[in-house]
Structures are given as structure tokens and as C-alpha cells.
Amino acid sequence: MNDNLLTNDEIKDFKKKSINILLKNNILLTPEYIEKFNSLNSKEEILEYTNTLLLKDNKSEVKDSSLDNLRPGNVRITNSYQDHFKKRTVSDFVQYYNNRFQALSGILRKRDVDNLTSIDKIKSLYEKEQISTIAMVYDVGETKNGHFVLELEDKTGIIKGIIMKNNEELIQIAKNIVLDEVIAVSGVAGKDVIFINDIIFPDIPLNNTIKTTPEEVYAVFTGDPQIGSKHFYKENFQKFIDWISNKKVSDKHKDIVSKIKYLIIPGDIIEGVGIFPGQENELEFQSVIEQYNLVYEYLKQIPEHIQIIMCPGNHDAVRLAEPQPAFTKKYLGNLLKLKNLHLISSPGMVSIEETDNFQGINILLYHGFSLPYYGDKVPEIRENGGLSNMSAIMKFYLQRRHFAPSHGSTQFIPDIRFDPMVIEKIPDIFVTGHVHKISVDSYKNVLMMNTSAWVAPTEYQSRFGLIPDNCRAVLVNLKTRDIKILNFESEEDS
């Protein structure tokens, strides 16, 4: 809708509609908010301010689905982190982990876990009583006799959990448990000990169903363009832009491309500045604003009916510590001109294709700064390819319902309100980037993918053994869940 064509009465009606949605979502409209609303004179300003207020707390998704009537392109941002500015203290870390424990405990309580008991009460029980408890993993190890030990902690105390050495299957599961993750265990009470016979992870429920759109609609996923690097594959990326814009498309793809409505990019949009030693010698543009302006030159070619959804990565002009808030507008330059651009945090979630009769497809984006840690530290993943086995790492995240369960697995800033790294809402599609690999798999009806990259490996990256899958895009039919990996290094698929 062109704001210049709106009458004063239409602007007033749009403000009223926005305020009603805020009230339905329990947003307290202070005099300051009302004064700000009265000063707004365009649909775009009203839309931006309404969504800022709706996402102010970020503790849960917006309750009122009519928000999509305010957002262009049928994209609803259901989770995008906004920072909580305060001086951090040691007590903030305690509150942060307490919030995590509470959130994951809530998920675990929905599982089939009987006889839940706190750790302090377990210590007072008679031996051989059947019990279960929810706890954070304080330590792991083995006894000299070959039994496996989990040291478990909740708000009431610490207790040892023993898995007998003859329970080989459960020990193999336990060996992949990492410090600080939240689990439930079932077993038999002993004297100041639990003899564990089952381990329950927060995980995705078995009854999670596949969601597909009523109409044939396509989404395209690609990652890590890192525009601004001298090693950026300009010609290949332009080839991709021409393809998604339906300018240079083979006959077999013309009908498909006409039905593309979404482009999703999970971070590292630009190469950035000062990311690694000596990077200045590998930059085409030394300013992040210049780099984002170059991104604009590419993305402005994409038709406006295709909604572009992006989260930041470690190369973007945001803080490195997770969660990474959505892009800082002062650095985005001309990108802010794009009406079909939706910016969210990492991690963050959007819902697309919502209608009165369809609840929408939930897409979870996380750039993936903790991916290398779990590729190396979880034995089962490390022994089966590490970072080359992206499906295993993404499955690990979903099982734990957390992006960084171990303290130290990623740089983070504690938030005393909640833990934004918890995966509270189950996604339909889960997408990551960061490691420049292409991977598509499914876990309990969640479509998982790690996206490609559009930049050659630098000498710095090569030291880490990075072998990228470059110039790829994943095309997903949201009605059938059919998937095609497109290779823009070759002529065949484009």
C-alpha cells in the first residue's frame, strides 16, 4: 500500500488497528507510547513501531495472529531477540541458568516422566524406590569399576547418578551428554545416589506432525554470501539473483520460480571488518556500510513479491556474543529501502503463509556460532564426521532444545529475563549457516538444513580444514516438501 495514497482517516484507522493488536497482546500503552503513535504519519512507521512494542519482551511469540495483516508479504516475526541493557553481575549468570532450568523443566514435564522428585527429597527416600528427577548435568565420568556417573544438580542439591556398566546401550547415550544440559533421569533411589535406568531429553515429541501449505509455494534458502570480500563469487551470485528474479531461467524452472515467495539467509550477509587477523588485505570494501550497500545492489533486483528474511552472523555488524540482536540499522545503508526485507535476531523465528485456515510454517534461523564446539566435543558426532555431519549437530540441538547447553560453547551475554537460546517453539524448518556446508535432512518431521556459502575459503579458514560447498541454494516446495539443491557453479541446474 502506498502511504501517499492514504487519507488521514485511513491512517487513523490503521493506528487504531495497531493499538488494538497491542492491547490484545497485553502490551501496556503508556502515555509515552500513545504520544509516539500520535506522531506517526505513515503505514511503514506505524508498522515498525507496533512490531517493536510487540517484540519488546521477547519471551514468547505474539499471541494475536492478526499481526500478519500489518506485516507485508505474509511474514510474521514470532521471535526476535532485543537486548536488555544493564550492567551484568555474577548474580545475572545464576538467574540466567535458573531461567534455562525452568524453561527446559517445563518441556520435560510434558514428557512421559513419572514420580518426579527433587534431589533433596530423593536423599530422604527409602532405598529401591522408583523415582525420576529433572536436573542440570554438573559433571560426567566413570568409576574405577567401569560404571558411568552423572553428577546431577537442581535448585535443592546435587546427587550422583550411576549407570551400571552392563547397561551398555544407556552408557552410549550418556557418553554424548554434555555439561550443563538439562535432562530427566528415571531409576531407583539408593543411599545418596540414583541408579539410572533411563535418560529423557527435552527433544521433539514423537507426535510432531508435518505441516504443508495449502497452495504450491516455494522458499529458497542460501547462506553466508559474505559480500565485500575479494573472494566473493560475484558472477555466481549474480547468476543466482537472475535466477530467483526469473530473468535467466531454464524452461524447466520457469513455472517453479514464478511461485517463489521467500528467500531465507541465515547470516554472514557481509564479509565484515576485523573478523580475523589480516582480513583487511582480503576486503574489496573496508567499510561495513559500503558492504551492506553492495548487498542492496544485489537484493534490490529481486521482485518485491519475494520476501527476504535474514538473521545476522559473526561476520555481520552486530555483537559477536549470542544471542545476536537483529541488524543495527545505522550500518545498513541503502538496505533499509527494501520493503520486502525482514530482519530478525540469531536465533530467531518467523511464521510464513498464515491464513485464517492455516497456522503457517515456522522457520527457525540460527547462524551457528556453536556448531564447531559440538562437532568436536560430542563423541558420537566427532567420530562420525564432526562438522561434515551437520545433520547430527542440528539433531543434537533439537534433542536438547538448546543452541549452546554447555557453558563456554559460545560467547554469550546472560539475560536475567529468560534464556533466548532455548528452543521453546518447535520449528517446521530449522536452518543454520556458518560452516559453509550444504546439508538437508529431517528429524521428527522438522526439516533441517545447513546452507551454502558464496565466498572462497581464505588462508585463515583453510587452517581449520574448511572445505566449503559453494554457490548452492536449497529450493523447498512448501506444499509437497519436495527439495532440490541448486548449484550455481554449473549450468545444469540454473
> What confidence tens digit (pLDDT) does each residue in 313-343 have?
999 999 999 999 998 888 999 999 998 999 9
DSSP secondary structure string, 58-121?
Answer: -SS--S-GGGGGTSGGGEEEEEE-----S---HHHHHHHHHHHHHHHHHHHTTSS--SB--HHH
Task: List Cβ neighbours of 305 (8 Å cut-off, separation of 6 or more).
Answer: 73, 261, 340
49 assigned to some structural domain:
yes
Q: Are residues 36 and 98 in the same domain?
A: no
Reported as a single tens digit per residue, the pLDDT across 386-414 is 888 999 999 999 999 999 999 999 999 88
- Across all residues in the chain, what is the average pLDDT? 88
Confidence tier at 87 by pLDDT (50, 70, 90): confident
Reported as a single tens digit per residue, the pLDDT across 151-166 is 999 999 999 999 999 9
**Could you tell me the three cell numbers for 361?**
510454517
Whether 21 contacts 50, CB under 8 Å: yes
252 versus 121: the higher-pLDDT residue is 121
Question: Residue 276 pLDDT > 70, yes or no?
Answer: yes
**Dihedral, 396, 402, 408, 410 alpha carbons, nearest 10:** 90
pLDDT at 12: 80
Which CATH number is 429's domain given? 3.60.21.50
78 assigned to some structural domain:
no
50 assigned to some structural domain:
yes
Place of cell 520460480: 257
Segment 436-447 shows an average pLDDT of 95
pLDDT at 25: 64
Q: Are residues 275 and 400 in the same domain?
A: yes
Segment 305-313 shows an average pLDDT of 95
Q: How far apart are CA 322 and CA 100, in angstroms?
A: 15
User: Domain boundary at 200, 234, 261, which?
Assistant: 200
Among 199, 181, 190, smallest CA distance to 160 is for 190
Q: How far apart are CA 400 and CA 317, in angstroms?
A: 29
Question: Residue 218 pLDDT > 50, yes or no?
Answer: yes
Segment 248-268 shows an average pLDDT of 91
Q: Are residues 141 and 236 in the same domain?
A: no
304 versus 27: the higher-pLDDT residue is 304
481 assigned to some structural domain:
yes
347 assigned to some structural domain:
yes
Segment 78-107 shows an average pLDDT of 88
pLDDT at 58: 42
Q: Are residues 472 and 347 in the same domain?
A: yes
Q: Are residues 415 and 470 in the same domain?
A: yes
Domain that holds residue 6: 1-54
Q: Are residues 245 and 146 in the same domain?
A: no
Whether 488 contacts 481, CB under 8 Å: no
pLDDT at 275: 80
Buried b (16+ CB within 10 A) or exposed e, 49-74: bbbebbbeebeebbeebebbebbbbb
pLDDT at 460: 59
pLDDT at 173: 96
Percent of the chain residues past pLDDT 90, beyond the cut:
62
Q: Are residues 417 and 471 in the same domain?
A: yes
Q: Are residues 286 and 191 in the same domain?
A: no
Sign of CA dihedral 209, 211, 403, 472: positive
Q: Are residues 232 and 190 in the same domain?
A: no
205 assigned to some structural domain:
no
Q: How far apart are CA 240 and CA 258, in angstroms?
A: 14
Segment 335-352 shows an average pLDDT of 94
Q: Are residues 367 and 305 in the same domain?
A: yes
Q: Are residues 342 and 407 in the same domain?
A: yes
86 assigned to some structural domain:
no
Confidence tier at 59 by pLDDT (50, 70, 90): very low
Number of structural domains found in the chain? 3
Which CATH number is 189's domain given? 2.40.50.140
Q: Are residues 48 and 110 in the same domain?
A: no
68 assigned to some structural domain:
no
Segment 463-488 shows an average pLDDT of 90
